Amino acid sequence: MVKERIVLASKAEAHCFERVRPNGTVLEVRGTPLPDGGFVTTYSDVTERKTWEENLQAAKQKAEEANQAKSAFLNMVTHDLRTPLTSIRSFAEILSDDAEIASEQRKAFLGIINSECLRLVRMLNDLLDFAKIEAGRMDWFIDDLDAAELLQSAVTSMTPMFAEKQVALELTLPAQAPRIAADRDRLTQVIINLLSNAWKFAAENSGRVRVCLDCQASEARISVIDNGPGIAAEKHDEVFEEFRQLVSANATHPAGTGLGLAICRRIVDHLGGRIWVESTPPDGATFRFTIPYSR
């Protein structure tokens, strides 16, 4: 550094460079030659400006990544909306053209049509919910709720799906159930989404998912714990971002819109809670969120 400054001074030319002090302060050193020889050297603290520039660059990079993810998402949604529609149309045409089709085959085709319709409804609901939240037009109905009863209801509604895949689903509740302040439908949506993700990544016949309700000092904590493949540490924050998806081991491409966990985060944030994931592959994943108690 000293050698470089001597070289600059010997050239008798204006110069400017930055210097980082041991405490992290960034100084801008500017030398201005005088007509009769010599220099006037000024030192300016530009730490705040450098921090702002770095933050701006980081925000720009994040925006570019989000834009790329959004483009990929739009391509995926276009494909995933077309796929069930094509399937529904094909099987409907078969049923329409062949009146003599065997009853068992007819039943199977109708089952596929129903399944694809439900898949479309889920995707469209995610898109509509996210659009409403982004526009600030989501309707909220905050009420005094029994956390244990709400969890029991959500788990019961998912039991048939877990049983079909032979994945164990357990619910652990405290002796004294807390009362929470939340929107029943939206909170149920969060729980169902977390259970659906756990089901998707659970191994058939050996999968296990546990739902736990714990009473904290000022809030209830709900956990959804699975024994799936887990989520890498660098993905823990990413899974809650819009248009981000993880692919299960037995899937060729992501299922759904990639908005489920982003919507969960927005709902929990609005209700005054927090949501996060804990995971160390391959030992499964634990999604937790908190909701304040009723006052």
Q: What percent of the chain has pLDDT over 90?
A: 34
Binned at pLDDT 50, 70 and 90, residue 86 comes out as confident
> 139-150, pLDDT tens digit by residue?
899 999 999 999
Whole-number mean pLDDT of the chain?
Answer: 84
Per the CB < 8 A criterion, the answer to whether 31 and 39 are in contact is yes
Tell me: pLDDT of 83 over 80.
Answer: no
Query: Taking the model in full, what pTM does it have?
Result: 0.65
Residues 232-280: pLDDT tens digits?
A: 999 898 888 876 666 544 444 445 567 889 889 999 999 999 999 999 9
Mean pLDDT across 105-129: 83
